Chain A
Amino acid sequence: MVSPWRFLPFLGFAAAALAKSSTGESVLIVLDPDLYIENFSRFFDGLEARGYDLTYRRPKDVYPPVIEHDHPKYAHVIFFAPEVKTYSQDITPQSLVTLLSKNTNLLIAVGTKATPLTSLAAEFSLILPPPGTPLVSHFPERDTPATVVPVNVSNPVVSEDLPPVWFSGVPFAFGNNPHIVPILNAPPQSFAADSDSDSGADALVDAANKGGEGLWAGSSLGLVAGFQTLGGGRATWVGGVELFSDEYAQKPAPNGGKSGNEQFASDVAAWTFQETGVLRVDDTTHHRVNETAPRDKYTINEHVTYTMHVSKYNPTSAVWEPYSGIDDMQLEFTMLDPHIRTALKPTPEKPGEYSLTFRIPDRHGVFKFNVDYKRRGWTYLQSTTVVPVVPPRHDEYPRFLSPAWPYYAGAISTSAAFLAFCALWLAGEEPKKAKSTKFD
């Protein structure tokens, strides 16, 4: 895998003014035959304006391939095929998972119809309602059908103060997967129901009873949800492809004014394509206090300084910048269990540096400096450095300790007594013979 920052040199002069993803700019768009590029022109043109190279393809086309020679050809895949049930061989839902594991980012739209994508969503712990049950809300009062719902946006992944976003499609309930990043949640008054008659929701009740998940209703439902893999790849699931359409982008919000769709779609793409919320660990070092070079091994009870440099990707200038904004990172010093787990704070006045000095525990063995920082919406930061911790060498600790002086005195006095005894015995040699003869 080519590390993302290898692209930096030619990114620099090719398009310094353009926003770029941290993982590459090639995008494959798999478009449903019923959907037309023109209907999504604002979204796609917006991507192109930000420097992405877009390639279009129908789900049943065989060219261009997504994976060539076991290497993903595109940095990002937009999968707008919510109604297609069969795909060409290299873009089946299973191969999408392969792509994701190779750090290709995915933007996937699902619809109300049951397709292989519906079952793929379950692999991401997204529980979809039965087919044909879109999100319905009768609030606020408006002139659109009940299935076209304005949704208020409030999420750190997207821009602040966005106007409501028009949505129509399916909601999903979340399983308890910690890698899910909810981006857009359903309005509290909304629910999933048969669109022709709200009262005929028997299919939903049956499904809810069978699955034991409860009804698909309320603000805990997701409409747009991100998923971040341990390897750093990002997949975003969208309940309805119309969210990205020109129609919704131009549709005025219920309270007047412009709807937030265009900006929201662009923000979701920016997060999915690893423009925003992207961090990386530049390097980690460790050394003894009052030294600078790392040691091969440390001795128990020594004071050690651990330093880590973190960068954040800046999409406007396409460079990695030192980032000191993390204040809840923790360092673990681990041998099987963490012997020390403590806050790793940013060093004041040194951008991007996080540093900590601590005492190694009174325990020898193979330890690890372990940083495992996982926050929703941010790249996971993981760093592990193995260091052996050894007991002091024979000349590194005092050999004679004050609590043991009775033992030293005992041993020395025994020797002294032995010497004195020998001297007295040998001095008393002659009389002893005389006396012993007497006693015989």
Chain B
Amino acid sequence: MPPKSTSSSAPSNSVQSLLKSYTDTTSPRLKLIDTLLLFLMLSGIIQFVYCILVTNFPFNAFLAGFGSCVGQFVLTASLRSQVNPANRAEFKEVSPERAFAEFALGSIVLHFFVYNFLG
């Protein structure tokens, strides 16, 4: 996002510095997680807008699709907070491997319910 003019230089400077510090200081792991979170959020928004503007029929399909995004987002967000080195003190007894295993198990259970509910 390059700055367009000098008049907006102050806000774009801060956005740029935010992006720069994010790029520099965030581990690739967390970037991977953030990519997934962003994707889930966009997918959920698209489905919600479609439901509002076009149709909510069949409603169970909407609940399943939207619920899978929300559920996966929550699980991924918890994984992110558990594997974030900044939160190491908070989750002393939870190793990143255990956090990932819990995340994977939770997701599989979630998807099981989602596909049951979809059709």
Q: Using a CB–CB distance below 8 Å, which chain A residues touch chain B?
A: 399-401, 403-404, 406-411, 413-415, 417-418, 421-422, 424-425, 428, 431-432, 435-436, 439-440
Contact = CB atoms under 8 A, between A and B. Distances in A.
Given A421-B32, A439-B85, A414 B43 contact: yes
9 contacts: A403-B57, A406-B46, A407-B61, A407-B62, A408-B65, A411-B68, A418-B107, A425-B100, A432-B96
A413 B111 contact: no
Interface in B85-119: 85, 96, 100, 104, 107, 111, 114-115, 118-119
B27 A435 contact: yes
Contact of A428 (B29, B47, B57): B29
A407 B111 CA distance: 14
Given A403-B54, A408-B118, A414 B68 contact: yes
Closest 9 CB pairs of A and B: A407-B65, A410-B65, A404-B61, A407-B61, A399-B119, A414-B68, A411-B65, A406-B50, A411-B68
Contacts of A400: 119
A436 B69 CA distance: 28
Interface residues on B, range: 35 or more
B24 to A, nearest CB: 11
A411 B40 CA distance: 10
A425 B29 contact: yes
Most buried by B among A399, A411, A422, A431: A411
A230 B69 CA distance: 65
Given A399-B119, A417-B72, A421-B32, 6 more contacts: A407-B65, A410-B66, A414-B68, A415-B68, A418-B72, A432-B29
Nearest to A438: B27
Max count, chain A CB within 10 A of own CB: residue among B27, B44, B115: B27
Contacts of A431: 28
Contacts of A417: 36, 39-40, 72
A404 B32 contact: no
Q: Which of A406, A407, A431, A436 has the most CB of B within 10 A?
A: A407
A413 B65 CA distance: 10
A436 B119 contact: no
Contacts of B47: 406-407, 410
Given A407-B64, A411-B64, A424 B85 contact: no
Contacts of B36: 417-418, 421
Contacts of B104: 422
B112 to A, nearest CB: 10
Nearest to B50: A406
Interface string B30-49: 00110010011001101100
Contacts of A409: 65
B57 A404 contact: yes
Given A404-B57, A422-B104, A414 B29 contact: no
